[in-house]
Amino acid sequence: MKKTVLLILSFLLFAIFLNAQTKINVVVIGAHPDDCDNDAGGTAILLAKAGHNVLFVSVTNGDAGHYEKGGGALAKIRRAEAQEAGKRFGVKYVVLDNHDGELMPTLDIRLNIIRAIRQWNADIVIGPRPNDYHPDHRNTAVLIQDAAYMVIVPNIAPDTPPLKKNPLFLYTEDGFQKPTPFQPDVAVDITTVFDQKIYAMSAHESQFFEWLPWTSGKLDQVPKTEADRLKWLAEWRSPGINDKVKESLTKWYGNEKASQAKYAEAFEICEYGGRPTDEEIKKLFPFFN
Ligand SMILES: [Zn+2]
C-alpha cells in the first residue's frame, strides 16, 4: 500500500516537473498601456490559452494620452484599463510609473527592464523596433535592445539572478521603411482569437474610443453601444495580410492553413537576443505544429 502511494506521488511530482519544463514564458514590452495589446495581443491569447505565461509591460503610465484628461488622474484611469485588458487577454499587465511622452532610455529604467525579464524567466521578449514616429516607442526599443544579452550578465542588477540563456528577442510589425523595412521572420495566425483580441483591446476606452479617434479627427464617428463599438474597432484595427507576412505564414503553417488565415501578427528576430533554429522556434510557438 505504502509503495503504491509513493509510486503515485513520484509520478505526480514528475508530471509537475515536466509541466514546469514545457511552459513558455513571454514578456511583451510596449511604451504605452495599449501597445502590447495592439502589436502582440492575439499571439498572447493563443499562448495563454495553451497554458503558457505571458506578461505585458507598459514602460510609461500613459499620462499624456488624452485631449482633456491628464497627469495622475489619467495615469490612474489607464492603469485600471490595462488591468481589465490583462484579464481579457489572460495575461498579467504591469504599468511602470514613467511619464508618457517624455521617456528616455536611462540606466535606471534599463535595469528595471532587465529585472522584469529575469523575474519572468523569459524565453521570448517582444517589443517595438527602434525606427518609429513616436519617441517613447523608439526609446522603449532602445531600452529592450540594451537589456538583451545583459539579462545573462550576473554583475548587472546583481540583486536579481541572471537568466541562464539569452531569450529570443522579437520586434513587432510596423510600416516604417527607413533605414530598413520590417521583416516578418515569424508570423502567427490569430484568426481564431481575433474577436477576443478586439474585446480585450476595447478595455482601453480612453484610447480607442476617445484619444485616438480625436487625434485622427473622427471622434464624432465613435459608435455609442458596446456591440457597435467592437465592430467599429475590429474594422479599424484589421489590416489585411500583406505578401511578405503571407509568405511567412506559409513557411510556418503550410500552404493550406496559411491561405485560410484572415488575421495575423508578425515578428522580426532581433540580432541581439538568442538566435534559435527553425526547429527551436517551432517549440517556442507550439501552435505552428
Ligand atoms: Zn504607443
What's the pLDDT tens digit per position in 113-124? 999 999 999 999
Q: Give the pLDDT of residue 249.
A: 98
d(CA 6, ligand 1 centre) in Å: 53
% pLDDT > 70, the chain: 93
d(CA 231, ligand 1 centre) in Å: 22
d(CA 137, ligand 1 centre) in Å: 6
d(CA 52, ligand 1 centre) in Å: 25
Q: Give the pLDDT of residue 6.
A: 65
Residue 265: pLDDT above 70? yes
Report which residue type is found at 87.
K
All residues with CB under 5 Å from ion ligand 1:
31-32, 35
d(CA 62, ligand 1 centre) in Å: 9
First to last CA, the chain: 42
Q: Give the pLDDT of residue 10.
A: 65
Cell readout for 130 is 527602434
Radius of gyration of the chain (CA): 20
Residue 248: pLDDT above 90? yes
Q: How far is C-alpha 111 from the chain's CA centre?
A: 20
% pLDDT > 90, the chain: 90
d(CA 259, ligand 1 centre) in Å: 31
Q: How far is C-alpha 12 from the chain's CA centre?
A: 33
Query: H-helix or E-strand containing 170?
Result: strand 168-172
d(CA 1, ligand 1 centre) in Å: 61
Tell me the average pLDDT of the chain. 94
Residue 216's SS3 state is coil
Find out whether 256 and 186 touch, Cβ atoms under 8 Å. no
Find out whether 207 and 65 touch, Cβ atoms under 8 Å. yes
d(CA 154, ligand 1 centre) in Å: 31
d(CA 22, ligand 1 centre) in Å: 32
Find out whether 146 and 139 touch, Cβ atoms under 8 Å. no
- Distances 184 to 15, 220, 231, 268, 270 between C-alpha atoms, Å: 36, 36, 27, 5, 11
Residue from 95, 5, 82, 72 nearest 41 by CA: 82
Q: Give the pLDDT of residue 4.
A: 66
Contacts of 106 (CB under 8 A, 6+ apart): none
Residue 151: pLDDT above 90? yes
d(CA 287, ligand 1 centre) in Å: 28
d(CA 112, ligand 1 centre) in Å: 19
d(CA 138, ligand 1 centre) in Å: 10
d(CA 225, ligand 1 centre) in Å: 26
Q: How far is C-alpha 185 from the chain's CA centre?
A: 16
d(CA 4, ligand 1 centre) in Å: 57
d(CA 69, ligand 1 centre) in Å: 17
Q: 15-58: per-residue pLDDT in tens? A: 555 455 589 999 999 999 999 999 999 999 999 999 999 999 99
Residue 185: pLDDT above 90? yes
Give 2's pLDDT tier (boundaries 50, 70, 90): low
Find out whether 23 and 53 touch, Cβ atoms under 8 Å. yes
d(CA 103, ligand 1 centre) in Å: 11
pTM of the model: 0.93
Q: Give the pLDDT of residue 20.
A: 52
d(CA 163, ligand 1 centre) in Å: 28
Residue 53's SS3 state is strand
DSSP 175-202: ---SSS----SEEEE-GGGHHHHHHHHT
DSSP strand pairing (264-269 vs 186-189):
antiparallel
Residue 243: pLDDT above 90? yes
d(CA 161, ligand 1 centre) in Å: 30
